[in-house]
Structure 1
Amino acid sequence: MSTTVDLSRIHFPVTTLGPGRRIGIWFQGCSIRCPGCISMDTWVHGRGTTTIDQVVEAISPWFSTADGITISGGEPFDQREALFELLRRIRARTNGDILLFTGYPWTEISEALASSTNLIDAIVTGPFDIDQKQTLALRGSDNQKLHLLSPLGRAQFESFDRSVDERDRTFDVMFDENGDVWLAGIPARGDFRRLRAILEGGGSTLRISEDTRFPSL
C-alpha cells in the first residue's frame, strides 16, 4: 500500500526556485510556523491528503522535460516517511536534480539524510527569521544555509551561493481550479503587502497567505 502524504499543491514549470524548468511540490502541514511566514496556508496538517502513488502518477508526464524538482512546504520533514518514499520514487524516474527546503536546522536532519544518501542534491535548512537580513539567493533570511550534497548539486547550485540580485526578484504565477492565485518564489520583505496595496488602489481585493502578525521588514 502506498504511503499517504498531505500536499498543498504541485506545479510545472516552476522557474524561480532553482535552475531551469522545475517540478514544484509543496507539502501541507508545518510544526515550525515561523513568525512572518508567507505561506500560512500550508501550516495546517491533515489537508490535501493523497498517496505517493498518486503524486508520482501526476508528475510523471513532466519528468521528460523538467530540469529538476523542488520540494518545499509546509514542512517536508514533518512527513519523513512520505518524503523519503517520494524522493526514492523520483530518483528512480529522472536524472534531474532535487532541491529541498526545510525549516529544520542541519543538525536535526543530518542523521536522517546520512541514512538515505543520494536522494537530495541540495538543501536549504533553517527556519525563516524575520529579524534577519535577506541578502542571499534562494534564502528567505540570512540564517538559512544552502548545502550542496552531491556532484550534481554542486554543479547546479554552486552559482546560488551568492548575494541576491534582480534575477531572484521574480515569481511564477499559478491558478488553481477555485480561481485562487499562487505565487512561487522568494519575495523581498513586504512584497505581498505592496502588491495588495497596488491592487486595492485599483479597486480590487486580495487576501494574502502571509503571517501578518509581524511587520515585514
Structure 2
Amino acid sequence: MDLRLSRVHFPVTTLGPGQRLGIWFQGCSIQCPGCISADTWATSRGHTTLEDLVERITLLLPNADGITISGGEPFDQPDALVALLLALRERTGTDILVYSGYALEDLGAPLQRAQGLIDALITDHFELHSAHSRPLRGSDNQRMHFLTALGRERFIEYERPLTEADKSLDVMFDEDGSVWFAGIPSRGDFQRLRDLLNDEGHLVQISADKA
C-alpha cells in the first residue's frame, strides 16, 4: 500500500509519556495558519509504501514505550493510517497516540474503522491566537479523547495546566543538515531562534517560512 511519509524518529520524549516512536505523515489539507510543521503540508513528496515503513520501524518497536502518529494530517490518508495501525497492533501492545487537525465529529467513518486501534486522540485545528496552557496541545481549543482504557491510563496525566517541565523539545538532525524539533513549542519560539541566528550571520529558515 502506498502512503506519504514525512519522517520517523526514535526516541521522541516530548509527545507523550516515555521514549516514543514518532511517525509523521506527509500532506495536510487543513494547513492551519502558524503551523510549526508547514514542511509536512505538501503532497508531492514523501512517497513510500506501508511495507517499507513497517520494515523500518519493526526493530524500533521493542524499545518504544509508546507510539505517536502526527503530520501532516494522518486522516487525509485514512486507508494507510488504518493499515499502519493494524500493523502496529500486530507487533506491539504499547499505547498509540494520534494527532488530527479535524474535529472528532468530522472524522466519522475513518475513526470508526480505527476503533480499538487508537488509544488517545488529540483533535481540532491549531489556533494561532488562542491560549496555549495545556500540555501536548498547541492551542487550548484542541481536545484530548481517551478511546481505550490504556489511553486513559497513559494520558490522563496530561489533563492539567502546562508546567515548565512540559516546555521542552527534542532536537533531531537529518543527513542533509536540516535540524528539526519534536514537541509543542511556546508561541514565537522558532521565530525568535531564527531571528537570533540570522542576526549572527547564519542563513536560517523555519518551516513556516516555506508555507
Q: Paired residue for 1:71?
A: 69
- After TM superposition, the structure 1 = structure 2 runs for residues 4-153 of structure 1, keeping only pairs within 5 Å, are 4-153=2-151
Q: Is this contact kept in 1: 2:38–2:210, CA < 8 A? A: no
Q: Give 1:205 shift.
A: 2.5
- How far does the alpha carbon of each residue in 1:186-205 deviate from its partner, in whole angstroms, 9 at most, with x for none? 00100001111222333322
Superposed CA offset, 1:109-132 (max 9, x none): 144323332100001000001121
Counterpart CA distance in 1 for 2:17 and 2:44 is: 31
Which digits, 9 at most, give the CA deviation of each residue in 1:46-97, with x for residues without a partner?
3110011110100111111100100000000000000000000001101110
TM-score, length basis structure 1: 0.93
Residue 152 of structure 1 aligns to a residue whose secondary structure is helix
Larger deviation: 47-56 or 113-122? 113-122
Alignment: residue pair count: 211
CA contact (8 A) 1:75 1:103 kept: yes
Report the Cα offset of residue 153 of structure 1: 0.3
Could you tell me which of 198, 201, 205 is aligned with 1:200? 198
CA-CA distance at 1:165 after TM superposition: 1.1
Deviating beyond 4 angstroms after TM superposition, the runs of 4 or more aligned structure 1 residues are none
Q: Is the 8 A contact 1:35 1:211 kept in 2?
A: no
Shift of 1:211: 5.6
Gaps of 5+ in 2: none
CA distance in structure 1 between the partners assigned to 2:152 and 2:209 by the alignment: 33
Find the aligned partners of 2:62 and 2:125 in 1 and give their Cα distance.
Answer: 33
Secondary structure of 1:86's counterpart equals helix
Cα distance in 2, alignment partners of residues 189 and 212 from structure 1:
18
**Normalized against structure 2, the TM-score is what?**
0.96
Write the deviation string for residues 5-59 of structure 1: whole angstroms up to 9, x where unpaired: 0011000000000000001000000000001111111111031100111101001
